[in-house]
Structure formats: C-alpha cells, structure tokens
Structure 1
Amino acid sequence: MKNAVLLFFFFGLFVFTAKAQVGAYNTMVGVTGGTNVGGTVKQFISETGAVDLLVYNRWRGWVGALLYEHHWDIREFDGLEWYVGAGAHYGIWKDGKGEPPWVYKIDQDYNVFGVDAIVGLEYNINHSNFYIGLYWKPAYNFEEFTKLWEDEAAVTLRYSF
C-alpha cells in the first residue's frame, strides 16, 4: 500500500510540473492497478508502434515487463484505440517477504522470467493529455514451478507529454 501511495504522489507531482502538449504525444507515464499495482512508461517509436515498460508489485514481489505494442484507432469512437503486443518479463521474490502462490512457505529467493502477450484498450479523456486504459497480459514463465499466468489484468491511468 505504501508503494501505491508513493506512485500516486510522484505521478501527481509529475502531472503538475510537466508541460502539457495536447494532440500528438510520444511518451506516456502512468499507474496501473488490478491484479498488479505499479507504474508504466510508454514510448512511441513510430506512429502506431510503442515500447511499454511495466514495473509492478504482485504477490509481494516485483516484476518488470518490457513490451512492444501495435496500436489501431477505433474509428467509430473518437479517442478510443486498441492494441496488441508481446514482450518479456523478469520477477523477483525475496526470502521471507513474498507470497507467491506456487510455494507453501517462502524460505528462499524466487526469480522468474518468461514471455508475455498483451491486448488492451486506451481512451483519450476529453481530448486531454490523460488516458485511461484496460489490458489483459497473459505470461508464460520458463521456470518449471510457475508456467502460465493467465490472470494478469489491470486498469491504467496515463499522462502524455
């Protein structure tokens, strides 16, 4: 909970100190919450392609995911777009601090790595610099005790500049 409060504080500080540019954007910074709680930075590298870095807390451990996403406008709804993508992740749970569901009692460090897919929707709120989104991100781990995480879903609130 303390980490989420810090993320919201820094996000708010950033929003009030950043120079607003309504219209085209290259970078988005935001928070994510759902089965995971964390932050996101999305950088567009082309008109429709973006690299998205997610860093989040799950099961009292930390996971970082780097994804490539391809965006398409939904012409029937102004400001709404959808995207699909793929990437990789790495997660860490420290001895005695995490509660991953694949262990009965954590008495050692756990690290996982694997590949991710992502599909989502993103909506520009009233043609402003704020975006709200929803995504589903299944992941496959190469560690034999974790395998598939099909339940990662979250809502994002992002600010573009």
Structure 2
Amino acid sequence: MNKIKYFFILAAFWGFSVQLAAQNFNSAIGVRFGYPFSISYKTFISESHALEGYVGFRGYSGVANWISINGAYQIHSDIDAIDGLEWYYGAGAGAQFWSYDFAESGSTTFSVSGYLGLQYTFEEAPVSVSIDWVPTFFIGDSRYGAFNSFGGGYGALAARYTLGRQ
C-alpha cells in the first residue's frame, strides 16, 4: 500500500476512537479577541455538537473597514488528560459588509471558513475560554476588484460567560 492509503486507514481508526465531549454548559456569550473582534454566542445542540454565531468589526488603517456576520458548526471532543479541556473542529460561513473611507459606497463579500481550536471551561467559575484558528476563503467583489482570496491568519482568543451550567 502507498502512504496515502496508510494515512486514510489511520485517520479512520482515530476517528472511531475519539471520545465525544460532555460539556458542562448549554450555551455561552462573550467576546472573540481576534480578526475580526467580535461578540460571540455559542450553544450546544447535543453533547458534542455546537453552533456559534458572532458579529464582528475589523478596520484597515483608515482605508476601509468591515462588519461581519459569521456562523459555525463545531464538533467538540474531550482531552482526557485535563478536566474541562476540549478540542474542536468545524466549518462555517459569513458575510462581510465593507465601507471605504475614500468612497461613498461599500460592497459585500462572503466567506467559507474552517475551525480548529481548544476550549477550556473552568469548573469553579462560569467562564469558558477558547483559542482557534479559522482559515478563510473570501468570495465577492470589493472596491479593489475581484476579491477571491484565502486568508490563513484568522482566528481568535475568546472568553465567554457560560449559561445553563450542568
């Protein structure tokens, strides 16, 4: 067998052996410190599957800025070595509403994102923190012309107040 077949066999065994997470809260609200800076709401729809929505702002040195609306579907899994620590992955989509300082018009772009992160929920406090990497592909037109590009530098450090503790 070649190396690709070995990789897929190992990935399949690993996927079946992953333990699902049993988070200790139902939902959380807070902020994402990153690109863009955002207000975030996350809710679990099962023990390991969550939906996150966030609205953010990003400025570009007095030239342009955007307001974005994003949603993500995430799958969480416990890291057994540390109570309260989980890793997650997922996918999402968003829309960015651009405003330009040098023009009286704006534009809209759309995005498709992947998510890979760590989340820690404190046992003694109603707080959850996470850090994630969100590689994003943007689609649409902007004042700069066609805006079909990939951005690998997106992500955030988030802090949220948990609701519905279990």
TM superposition score category, shorter chain reference: 0.7 to 0.9
Give the direction of change, closer, same or farther, for the CA distance of 1:123–1:106 in structure 2 (3 Å limit): farther
List alignment gaps of at least 5 residues for structure 2.
Answer: 1-22, 60-64, 141-145
Question: Corresponding residue for 2:52?
Answer: 52
For residue 88 of structure 1, what is the amino acid of its counterpart?
A
Question: Corresponding residue for 1:115?
Answer: 112
For residue 80 of structure 1, what is the amino acid of its counterpart?
L
Question: Corresponding residue for 2:162?
Answer: 160
Higher strand share: 2
TM value normalised by structure 2: 0.73
2:109–2:147 CA contact under 8 A, matched in 1: no
Give the whole-Å Cα distance in 1 for the aligned partners of 2:35 and 2:137. Answer: 16
Question: Corresponding residue for 1:25?
Answer: 25
1:79–1:127 CA contact under 8 A, matched in 2: no
Q: CA deviation at 1:157?
A: 0.3
Give the whole-Å Cα distance in 1 for the aligned partners of 2:56 and 2:133. Answer: 14
Give the whole-Å Cα distance in 2 for the aligned partners of 1:154 and 1:109. Answer: 26
Q: 1:70 aligns with which of 43, 57, 75?
A: 75
* Structure number with bigger Rg: 2
Question: Corresponding residue for 1:34?
Answer: 34
Report how many aligned residue pairs link the two structures.
131
Give the whole-Å Cα distance in 2 for the aligned partners of 1:136 and 1:121. Answer: 9
Q: CA deviation at 1:127?
A: 3.7
Alpha-carbon RMSD across the aligned residues, in angstroms, is 1.7
Deviations 1:2-59 (A, max 9, x none): xxxxxxxxxxxxxxxxxxxxx8321110111123211100011011000000211112
Q: Kindly, what percent of the aligned residue pairs are identical? A: 29
Question: Corresponding residue for 2:122?
Answer: 125
Give the whole-Å Cα distance in 2 for the aligned partners of 1:33 and 1:106. Answer: 29
Give the direction of change, closer, same or farther, for the CA distance of 1:35–1:142 in structure 2 (3 Å limit): closer
TM value normalised by structure 1: 0.75
Q: Does 1:84 align with 2:85?
A: no
Q: CA deviation at 1:61?
A: 1.4
Extract structure 1 runs of 4+ deviating beyond 6 A.
none
Give the direction of change, closer, same or farther, for the CA distance of 1:126–1:25 in structure 2 (3 Å limit): closer
Larger deviation, residues 47-56 vs 147-156: 147-156
